[in-house]
Amino acid sequence: MWLARETERIVCDGDKRKYTAFYATGVYAGIATGYIVGCCLRCYYCWTGFERDFPEFFGHFYGPEEAMRRIEEAARRYGVNKARISGGEPTLCRRHLLGLLEAFQETDLRLFILETNGILFGADRSYVRAIGRFERVHVRVSLKAGTPEGFTARTGAVPEAFELPFRAIEALLDEGVSFHVAAMTDPRIMPAEERKALIERLAEIDEAVAANLEEETCDPYETTLARMAAYGVDPADFFGLGRKGPAGAGHP
Amino acid sequence: MTQPISSGSGGKALLVLAILEACEEEGEDLPFSAILEGLRGLGPFPGAFLDELEAKYGDMPPRVAISMMLKDPSWRDAVLEASRAYLRELLEG
């Protein structure tokens, strides 16, 4: 939670939040996107820009109405009907997010996809309850690990925080929020036994949630390569392009 | 493909199981309608079911569509039954 609060000190200002761009992209078969600054995890395989690591240097502050107006403009320009904020952790700057979703209710867009790591939702159930009152909002919780050790090794966060995304999932179920779970289960990152433990843990919470798990794979974005190298993983080996042969399983 | 699953709901659970399997292959960048289109003619799936899902959720991302089906009284039981069968595949397969 320390990193979340420190990052908020930099990227939030009242109900304003830092963004670097507004555009649409082909993921989810087309979605308008506000690119935000700031995250509370430090995953070594992360694809986002270096705004994540140096939030002081990037972005401009936007209020929720102005940000949604620009997202809506991007949706109209590219002919898409879904919206999200991406590139950082959307649940930082709570006042901004709730204002943004309020503004979304006034649009004719079909769906807002809220992609989160679940840390802040898991720490505060009232935040999940506040999200549950909005129409046409779907939450995607992205899990990083199936064990506390794996969680700390991949994200840099304390092992105690491992439980928070699972608490978020329980809260989303209890509050009746539309959501699904994703997980970085790429076998080059997560060993098979850990993947199995993660799915079993999800199934204990809810079988349908576990069966609808979206499994993510790691792609060689420039920032991913740089972060891997800084972390001590050779990207060429990881992606099977090194002289040492194909990638091995179970990188931390 | 293991299918210890009933056809008591008119084959809805079998269809949802096929959807879960297809989603694993296709990911989230195609609309749900593309998943459904791929299943037409592939199995014993009544066209009326596919038409209903396409009309309700066709423009949604697949995982979002499945989450919405779980809240849809006419599909909830089928999703629950298919989920149990799919989990067996996932954990034992």
Q: What residue segments make up the domains of chain B, in order of their start?
A: 12-88
Do A29 and B70 count as a contact with CB atoms less than 8 A apart?
Answer: no
Token couple for A182: 């994703």
CB B36 within 8 A of CB B58: yes
Token couple for A126: 């009232």
Do B66 and A199 count as a contact with CB atoms less than 8 A apart?
Answer: no
CB A4 within 8 A of CB A155: no
Query: Among A8-17, A61-70, B34-43, whose mean pLDDT is lowest?
Result: B34-43
User: CA-CA distance, A28 to B59, in Å (whole number)?
Assistant: 10
Instruction: Give the bridge partners for A180, in sequence order.
Output: A140
The length of chain A in residues reads 252
User: CA-CA distance, B24 to A181, in Å (whole number)?
Assistant: 13
| pLDDT tens-digit map of A182-226 | 999 999 999 999 999 999 999 999 999 999 999 999 999 999 999
Query: Which residue has tokens 């042969």?
Result: A245
The H-assigned helical ranges of A36-147 are: 64-78, 94-105, 119-123, 125-132
User: CA-CA distance, B65 to B26, in Å (whole number)?
Assistant: 14
Handedness of CA B30, B33, B35, B40 (dihedral sign): negative
| pLDDT tens-digit map of A77-115 | 999 999 999 999 999 999 999 999 999 999 999 999 999
Do B64 and A180 count as a contact with CB atoms less than 8 A apart?
Answer: yes
pLDDT at A12: 97
pLDDT at B8: 55
pLDDT at B23: 93
Coil/strand/helix, residue A122? helix
Q: Residues of chain A with pLDDT > 90: what percent?
A: 94
Coil/strand/helix, residue A245? coil
- What is the CB neighbour count within 10 angstroms for residue B40? 12
Coil/strand/helix, residue A35? strand
pLDDT at B49: 95
Find the chain A residues whose C-beta atoms sit closer than 8 A to any C-beta of B.
26-29, 81-82, 110-111, 113, 138, 140, 178-180, 182, 196, 199-200, 203, 207-208, 210-212, 214-215
Do B20 and A211 count as a contact with CB atoms less than 8 A apart?
Answer: yes
- Give the domains, in start order, of chain A with CATH numbers: 2-236 (3.20.20.70)
pLDDT at B46: 87
Asked if B2 has any chain A CB less than 8 Å from its own CB, the reply is no
**A136 pLDDT more than 50:** yes
Do A208 and B83 count as a contact with CB atoms less than 8 A apart?
Answer: yes
Residues in CB range of A81: below 8 A, 6 or more apart:
A30, A75, A109, A110, A111, B59
Return the residue of B nearest to A181 by Cα: B63
| pLDDT tens-digit map of B37-66 | 999 988 788 899 999 999 999 999 999 999
> B81 vs chain A: nearest CA distance in angstroms?
9
pLDDT at B6: 64
**A156 pLDDT more than 70:** yes
Return the residue of A nearest to B70 by Cα: A208
Handedness of CA A114, A159, A208, A191 (dihedral sign): positive
Q: Residues of chain A with pLDDT > 70: what percent?
A: 96
Asked if B79 has any chain A CB less than 8 Å from its own CB, the reply is yes
Taking contacts as CB-CB distances below 8 angstroms, the residues of chain A near B68 are 178
Taking contacts as CB-CB distances below 8 angstroms, the residues of chain A near B21 are none
**A250 pLDDT more than 70:** no
pLDDT at A242: 73
